[in-house]
Amino acid sequence: MPDRDAPPSPIPDSKIRSRRQTRLSLVWIIPIVAAIIGAWVAVVKIMNQGPKIEIVFRSAEGLEAGKTKVHYNGVDVGQVATIRLSKDYKHVIATVEMAPDTEGFLVDDTRFWAVTPRISGATVSGLGTLISGAYITFEIGKSPKNRRSFEALDTPPVVTGDLPGRFFVLKTTDLGSVDTGTPVYFRRLKVGQVASYELDKDGRNLTVKIYVYAPYDQYVNPETRFWQASGIDVSLSATGVSVQTQSVMSMLIGGIAFETPATGQVLPPADPNTVFTLYRDRAEAYKPPPQNPQTFLLIFNQSVRGLTVGAPVDFRGILIGEVTEVHAEVDLKTKEFLIYADITVDPQRLGVRTAAGQTGVSKGKNRKLVDGMVSRGLRAQLRTGNLLTGSLYVAFDFYPDAPQYKVDWSQNPVRLPTIPGQLEGIEASVAKVMNKLEQVPYQEIGNDLRKTIAGLDQTLADTRRTLDNANRLLEPDSELSQEMTSTLRELKGAARELRLLTDYLERHPESLLRGKPEEK
């Protein structure tokens, strides 16, 4: 350093300033504050970070990483962070960052699905997403178990838990036009929806889950009948044409209707998830289920074309059962082909009732009843149900003239007697006539006829000859006619003479006695 007491210079001395000993500058507060704020922001950010969940989708259509939100009742509660393919490239895994405090509803049975514009049958949903893009929403489950990995539903559930009501299970063999969201009607009032359907594992039946909203769910009781109310049911009967529909909507998109048969007693509402049968139509639904079905065997010696399994068995028009099996067998003894038809009959429907509450009839009583009826002429007959389709049904009726038959109860199934069917009866009669006709000796009749005709010819020739002769006789220049003419002339002369005579006699009656006076 240069000397302080150097020769005076024009540079002036600075004024004295009180010195502050600043070993550590106060400026260090700034980075500390910055660090504190940064740390605070980081803490807040971490605190605000909700759980990360994974949702497996079938397709990421409409989903966008960093954009697609998770909404619940319109509240934004999360965002899709990343979207990637699963290892087998079959699914799409979306990682979603949920808002804080959402752990409560990320439970085992929470169901997620993507909301996209959807048009299916009756419902158009998610139109808002056309503008805003798809979003993910969910239905909060009730399970206490937490979960972080979910599988999204392919279609939004029709029924979310926030609407009170009850689920019921319907079993059917044919889905018809039932789809998810298909309405359920009660007295033409829309009271529920089809929540889901699936094919049973054995592939025989379909299980349709429906949701009936409160307070209509109380009208479903164990006796309730469900049927498919889709389309139009036109039936032609003696009273005219009757058209059965539920509503225009159900005509177009189908529906399920239910009704409870009016019974005297008031039944308690059915429990949730009670299993019902879904019938094809109302008539089938109201067909009472067989309570004590009995199988009988009918043997027909005729074609059963048109007799199908399920064909009705009726007694004087009352449905009492159906055909369960039709097959042909050959009788080795008689070398005859016979058609065996198994039928199930519900004797209950014939009005065979015992004390109330007791289902079925005792075996012995039943046998006696059937024996009695058969001896009085109860016979089964194949009848044509529909002339157009030629479908047949089995009809029971009494034919007192039928040959006697003894029911053999040792067989299983018991065989009941049959008589030829209507058409068959006609056929038999016709055949009989034909047989008789066949016995007519046409050959001889023909020969005789020919002979007769030949004789007739002869006769005719003779007749013609006779007529010719007669003609000849009557011709003007014939001998006969000439003789006739002269005879007639003479006869005329004779007549004149006779007249003259009578005239003379009139004038001269005395001449009769005296004779003609001499001319004077």
Partner 1 sequence: MSAAVSTALQQGLHSCRTCGLLSRPAHGEVEGRCPRCDEALAFRKPAALQRTWAFLIAAAVCYIPANVLPVLTTTTAAGAESDTILQGVILLWSPTGWPLSLIVLIASIMIPIGKIIALAFLLISVQQGSIKSNEQRVRLYGMVEFIGRWSMVDVFVDTYTASLVQLQPLMAVEPSAGLVFFAAVVVLTMLAAQSFDPRLIWDPESEQEVRHA
- Please give the residue ranges that form the binding site for partner 1 (CB under 8 A): 1-2, 4, 9, 11-17, 19, 22, 24-25, 27-28, 30-31, 33-35, 37-38, 41-42, 45, 66-67, 69, 76, 131-133, 135
Q: Cα(328)–Cα(339) distance, rounded to whole angstroms?
A: 4
Closest distance between partner 1 and the C-beta of residue 17, in Å?
5
Query: Is residue 338 a contact partner of residue 332, using CB atoms and an 8 Å limit?
Result: no
- Which residue, 42 or 505, is less far from partner 1 as judged by CB? 42
The rounded radius of gyration (Å) of the Cα atoms in the chain is: 56
- Which residue, 8 or 240, is less far from partner 1 as judged by CB? 8
Closest distance between partner 1 and the C-beta of residue 11, in Å?
5
Q: Cα(144)–Cα(372) distance, rounded to whole angstroms?
A: 67
Closest distance between partner 1 and the C-beta of residue 68, in Å?
9
What is the C-alpha end-to-end distance of the chain, expressed in Å?
241
- Which residue, 18 or 358, is less far from partner 1 as judged by CB? 18
Closest distance between partner 1 and the C-beta of residue 254, in Å?
36
Closest distance between partner 1 and the C-beta of residue 115, in Å?
13
What are the tokens at 209? 């889950």
**Sheet bearing 69-72, strands edge to edge:** 111-115, 135-139, 69-72, 75-85, 92-98, 52-57, 149-151
Name 228's bridge partners: 256
Closest distance between partner 1 and the C-beta of residue 28, in Å?
5
Helix or strand holding residue 324 (H, E): strand 318-331
- Which residue, 11 or 248, is less far from partner 1 as judged by CB? 11
Displacement of CA 399 from its chain's centroid (Å): 35
- Which residue, 27 or 387, is less far from partner 1 as judged by CB? 27
Closest distance between partner 1 and the C-beta of residue 264, in Å?
59
| Angular region, 385: left φ>0, alpha ψ -120 to 50, beta rest | alpha
- Which residue, 133 or 269, is less far from partner 1 as judged by CB? 133
Angle between helix 479-507 and helix 442-474 axes, rounded to 10 deg: 50
Name 299's bridge partners: 340
- Which residue, 29 or 473, is less far from partner 1 as judged by CB? 29
What are the tokens at 90? 């079959």
Residue 381, judged by CB atoms within 10 A of its CB (0-12, 13-18, 19+), counts as: buried
Closest distance between partner 1 and the C-beta of residue 132, in Å?
4
- Which residue, 133 or 157, is less far from partner 1 as judged by CB? 133
- Which residue, 16 or 437, is less far from partner 1 as judged by CB? 16
- Residue type, position 334, single letter: T
Closest distance between partner 1 and the C-beta of residue 22, in Å?
6
Displacement of CA 96 from its chain's centroid (Å): 47
- Which residue, 14 or 334, is less far from partner 1 as judged by CB? 14
416 CB neighbour count, 10 Å cutoff:
21
Q: Cα(330)–Cα(334) distance, rounded to whole angstroms?
A: 9
- Which residue, 33 or 433, is less far from partner 1 as judged by CB? 33
Q: Cα(42)–Cα(29) distance, rounded to whole angstroms?
A: 19
- Which residue, 48 or 308, is less far from partner 1 as judged by CB? 48
Q: Cα(391)–Cα(54) distance, rounded to whole angstroms?
A: 59
Q: How far is CA 85 from CA 54, 88, 267, 440, in A?
A: 12, 8, 54, 91
Closest distance between partner 1 and the C-beta of residue 130, in Å?
11
Query: Is residue 295 a contact partner of residue 344, using CB atoms and an 8 Å limit?
Result: yes
Closest distance between partner 1 and the C-beta of residue 48, in Å?
12
Can you tell me whether residue 281 is helix, strand or coil?
A: coil
Q: How many CA atoms lie within 13 Å of 8's alpha carbon, on the beta-carbon side?
A: 2
Closest distance between partner 1 and the C-beta of residue 155, in Å?
23
